[in-house]
Amino acid sequence: MGSRTGSEAPAAGAVADQAYVDSGVTGSAKILVVGPMGVGKTTLIGTVSEITPLSTEAVMTRAGQLSDRPAGPAKTTTTVALDFGRITLDSDIVLYLFGTPGQQRFLPAWKELARGSLGALALVDTRDLEASFDSIGHLEDLDMPFTVAVNHFPDSPRHGEADLRTALDLLPHTPLVVCDAREHTSSVRALISLITHLIESATERTG
């Protein structure tokens, strides 16, 4: 648990929301980046953002280190409200990226950030697939289109697409991609997969 509490999250969310509203950019979209703690949300947003990302990382307390255990190496910090970044895909599409806290106790902040979002990129760590069930379930409850991006770490086990889809109980139309959140090109490709999915979903609804 970080040094801040979940009660501070709406204030931080309001700051980033206002930046999104005030941008005045045509063809902009608010996108969530979700997933369990330690999956790479902060890294991905920092990798692709063309502005200095807003990050609410806080040093974890001893109690937090005991209760929040990511699949990878022990973390000393955790996101307690949101990460915020911006990326221009081309002259017509600007994405405003909102990274959500990974822990279940921050769900109220998570739902607040979901307001006005067109879709989400759900990061998954194959070292602990079960940890991703909650975030994927929240997206399904919100009926929000999303793409699943498997963030490969050096010690991540490799699984075939069919096995991953079965393990995560994904619908056939949900895109599944592999990415490295540390690499700009790989992360951008994951976001493009999501945008393509959003466009296709909108076309199906209006067609």
18-40 pLDDT tens trace: 444 444 345 889 999 999 989 99
Supply 61's token pair: 């307390």
Three-state SS at 57? strand
Whole domain around residue 140: which residue ranges?
6-206
> How high is the pLDDT of residue 120?
96
> How high is the pLDDT of residue 126?
96
| Residue 190 lies inside a defined structural domain of this protein | yes
**88 CB-near residues (< 8 Å, 6+ apart):** 50, 94, 95
Q: pLDDT: is 141 or 78 the higher one?
A: 141
What digits encode the pLDDT tens for the residues 105-132? 656 777 788 899 999 999 999 999 999 9
Q: Looking at residue 64, which CATH number applies to its domain?
A: 3.40.50.300
| Residue 66 lies inside a defined structural domain of this protein | yes
Long-range own/partner contacts, residues 140-143 (CB < 8 A, 24 or more apart): 142/111, 142/114
Ranked by mean pLDDT, the top range of 13-17, 26-30, 138-142, 160-164 is 160-164
| Residue 79 lies inside a defined structural domain of this protein | yes
Q: pLDDT: is 129 or 202 the higher one?
A: 129
Note the Cα 7 to chain centre separation in Å: 21
Residue 3 has pLDDT above 50, yes or no: no
- The amino acid occupying position 48 is V
Q: Which of 31-40, 74-83, 168-177, 188-197 has the lowest mean pLDDT?
A: 74-83
Residue 136 has pLDDT above 90, yes or no: yes
| Residue 1 lies inside a defined structural domain of this protein | no
The total number of structural domains that make up the chain: 1
- Calculate the CA dihedral of residues 76, 79, 80, 86 and round it to 10 degrees: 150
Supply 162's token pair: 């069919």
| Residue 99 lies inside a defined structural domain of this protein | yes
**Residue 56 confidence class, pLDDT cut points 50, 70, 90:** low
Three-state SS at 157? coil
Across 153-181, average pLDDT: 95
| Residue 60 lies inside a defined structural domain of this protein | yes
Residue 68 has pLDDT above 60, yes or no: no
